[in-house]
Structures are given as structure tokens and as C-alpha cells.
């Protein structure tokens, strides 16, 4: 474990590296390190401190790993400083780089300010009526690419007890039957998936049950209950409801996507109006001075 209290014992493996680095990169005009921190080495007037190295070492690392992590970090740090200083001495387009850096800095500050304004002034979620209005207006564009269904799938061992009761419970699938299935599954089921309250892709359900289906749409349209088995397991599938490929996506499935669409639109509209108001106010208050041609 790497710790500040036992630093000397943990850093023995690369103490030589520190000494060599200090000798190799110390110059006559070296700067003074931060008196409140313990420096490990200096190169080109830049200091690497013990606390910086300690921060990159996981608390559960053993001595060997701590030493290796510290050695790699120190080597990378020294290399980066040397590369940067050599690059500064040899590049000729410093003004262009400074301009790009300032442009990026300005964009980053503006972005942070806009995000703060959005957090303060926009609602976290669109209103439910707005979501439904969007769905009703654009549902022709919300078309399913997969068959989906609601229901339940119960898988039990082939020799599981009370299969007749299980069959009846799955076929009925009312609140009392579901309670019976849940109690039964605790003792006997290999797996029990209830998805009567959410939509699943039919292809994902088929991965769990040994059915060979030529026409999934026809299968879903003509079956409410399916029972099958293989050499070791028995499968009960209840299809509560379904939607087919090419039909309109259910609102509850589309809701998250619509939420993102509306939030992004609200943010874009807010930023556009915010920028326009800033400009108009500046012109109105004569903050902007226009010179005559």
C-alpha cells in the first residue's frame, strides 16, 4: 500500500530515478519550489510534488504496483515537460497557437455560462402534455423496426411439480395468478420474467425459448399463450399485447426519445433568444458603438 506516512519505504524502488532526475534536470537558475509541498524533482523550472504522485496511486495498490505506477507517472511527467519546452523553443507560429487557445477558452467560458443559464431557467423535463402533443403530431415518423410485446416468460425444469397449475396461472395472468406464479417461481423456476408493464423486442424473448418461427408477425397475431419444452426445461410464454414492425411505436416507448428531442429544442431556442436579447440590449443601451463609414 502506498502511503504518505511510509513514503520512504514504498519509494525505495525508484529512489534512484529521483536522484538521477534531479541531477539530470537541475540547472543553475532553477526556480524555488512551493515551500508548503515536498518536491520530488525539477525539470525546466517545473516541479513535480509528492502529493501529485500519491494522487495517481490507488489506495489498495501493493508496494510493487505502487512503485510501477509512480515510476510510469514520473517518466510521463518529465517527458511531457521536456517535449513542451522543446516545442516552445522550436515552433514559429506561437501567435497562431495563442489565438486558437484564446478562441477555445472563450468558447468554453461561453458554453459554461449558457449551461448555467439553462439549468436555472429551463424546466428539467418537458410537460406531459407537450410530450403527448409531439407524439400525436409526429407519430407517423415513430415507426417500429422490431416486433415488440408485453407479457411474461416462465422457465421451469421439465420435471417441475404442479405444471397443470402453472399452465392455468400463466394463461389467466390476473393479479391472483401472478402472485401464485411469483411464489411458485421462488422454489421451482429456473427464470421468471414479467414484462407486462414494459415493451420488449420479440427477438430478445425468442433467444430464451426454443421456438422456430418463420413469420414472427403472424405468430404474434395468432398466439396469446405458448408452451413448449426441450430435453431439460419447460417454457410458458404469455403474450399480453404486441406491436408489429412498421406500426407506430407506443407512446411509453417513444417518451424518452421525445423528451430528449424537446429538451434539445428548448435549449436551442433558449440560447438563440438569450443571444438575441443580449445583442438587442447592447444596441439599445448604446453599449455597442457603430462607426459611420
| pLDDT at residue number 1 | 46
**Does residue 155 sit in the same domain as residue 235?**
yes
**Does residue 153 sit in the same domain as residue 85?**
no
Residue 273 resides in a domain: no
**Does residue 86 sit in the same domain as residue 151?**
no
| pLDDT at residue number 30 | 55
CA distance 168 to 184: 13
For the chain, what's the residue count?
293
* pLDDT at 26 exceeding the cut of 80: no
Domain count, the chain: 2
**Does residue 154 sit in the same domain as residue 222?**
yes
Residues β-bridged to residue 182: none
Residues β-bridged to residue 238: 152, 225
Q: Quick one: DSSP state of residue 143?
A: B
pTM of the model: 0.64
Residue 291 resides in a domain: no
C-alpha triplet 137, 241, 166: angle, nearest 5°: 160
Residue 152 resides in a domain: yes
**Does residue 150 sit in the same domain as residue 239?**
yes
CA distance 290 to 278: 16
Tens digits of residue pLDDT in 176-193: 999 999 999 999 999 999
Tens digits of residue pLDDT in 217-269: 999 999 999 999 999 999 999 999 999 999 999 999 999 999 999 999 999 99
Residue 250 resides in a domain: no
CA distance 236 to 166: 8
CA distance 217 to 237: 16
CA distance 78 to 25: 9
Q: Which of residues 228, 243, 258 is at a domain's end?
A: 243
| 2 — pLDDT class (breaks 50, 70, 90) | very low
* pLDDT at 21 exceeding the cut of 60: no
**Does residue 66 sit in the same domain as residue 155?**
no
**Does residue 81 sit in the same domain as residue 154?**
no
| 292 — pLDDT class (breaks 50, 70, 90) | confident
Q: Quick one: DSSP state of residue 19?
A: H
Helices 128-138 and 251-284 sit at what angle, rounded to 10 degrees? Answer: 110
Query: What's the mean pLDDT when you consider all of the chain?
Result: 89
* Mean pLDDT lowest among 14-23, 65-74, 100-109: 14-23
| pLDDT at residue number 94 | 86
| 293 — pLDDT class (breaks 50, 70, 90) | confident
> Does residue 230 come out as left (phi exceeding 0), alpha (psi in the -120 to 50 range) or beta?
beta
Q: Do 236 and 190 contact (CB within 8 A), yes or no?
A: no
Residue 282 resides in a domain: no
Residue 281 resides in a domain: no
Q: Give Cα 15 distance to the centre of its chain.
A: 40
Q: Give Cα 243 distance to the centre of its chain.
A: 29
Residue 61 resides in a domain: yes
Tens digits of residue pLDDT in 262-289: 999 999 999 999 999 999 999 999 888 8
Structural domain boundaries enclosing 59: 7-90
Q: Quick one: DSSP state of residue 293?
A: -
Q: Do 49 and 36 contact (CB within 8 A), yes or no?
A: no
Q: Do 161 and 167 contact (CB within 8 A), yes or no?
A: no
| pLDDT at residue number 3 | 47
Residue 42 resides in a domain: yes
Cell reading at 161: 411439480
* pLDDT at 22 exceeding the cut of 90: no
Q: Do 220 and 242 contact (CB within 8 A), yes or no?
A: yes
Amino acid at each position: 500500500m502506498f502511503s504518505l506516512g511510509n513514503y520512504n519505504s514504498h519509494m525505495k524502488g525508484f529512489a534512484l530515478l529521483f536522484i538521477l532526475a534531479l541531477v539530470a534536470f537541475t540547472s543553475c537558475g532553477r526556480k524555488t519550489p512551493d515551500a508548503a509541498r515536498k518536491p520530488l524533482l525539477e525539470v525546466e523550472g517545473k516541479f513535480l510534488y509528492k502529493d501529485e504522485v500519491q494522487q495517481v496511486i490507488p489506495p489498495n495498490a501493493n508496494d510493487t504496483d505502487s512503485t510501477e505506477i509512480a515510476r510510469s507517472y514520473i517518466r510521463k511527467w518529465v517527458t511531457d515537460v521536456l517535449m513542451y519546452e522543446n516545442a516552445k523553443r522550436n515552433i514559429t507560429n506561437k501567435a497562431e497557437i495563442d489565438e486558437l487557445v484564446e478562441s477555445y477558452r472563450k468558447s468554453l467560458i461561453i458554453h459554461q455560462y449558457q449551461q448555467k443559464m439553462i439549468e436555472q431557467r429551463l424546466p428539467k423535463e418537458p410537460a406531459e402534455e407537450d410530450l403527448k402533443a409531439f407524439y400525436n403530431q409526429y407519430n407517423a415518423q415513430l415507426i417500429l423496426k422490431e416486433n415488440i410485446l408485453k407479457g411474461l416468460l416462465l422457465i421451469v425444469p421439465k420435471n417441475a411439480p404442479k405444471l397443470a397449475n402453472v399452465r392455468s396461472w400463466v394463461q389467466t395472468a390476473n393479479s391472483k395468478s401472478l402472485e401464485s406464479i411469483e411464489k411458485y417461481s421462488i422454489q421451482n423456476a429456473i427464470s421468471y420474467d414479467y414484462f407486462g408493464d414494459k415493451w420488449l423486442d420479440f427477438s430478445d424473448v425468442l433467444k430464451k425459448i426454443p421456438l422456430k418461427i418463420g413469420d414472427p408477425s403472424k405468430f404474434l397475431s395468432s398466439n396469446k399463450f405458448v408452451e413448449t419444452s426441450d430435453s431439460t426445461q419447460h417454457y410458458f410464454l404469455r403474450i399480453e399485447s404486441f406491436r408489429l414492425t412498421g406500426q407506430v411505436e407506443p407512446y411509453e416507448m417513444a417518451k424518452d426519445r421525445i423528451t430528449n428531442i424537446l429538451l434539445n429544442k428548448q435549449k436551442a431556442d433558449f440560447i438563440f433568444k438569450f443571444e438575441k436579447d443580449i445583442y438587442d440590449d447592447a444596441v439599445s443601451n448604446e453599449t455597442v458603438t457603430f462607426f459611420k463609414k
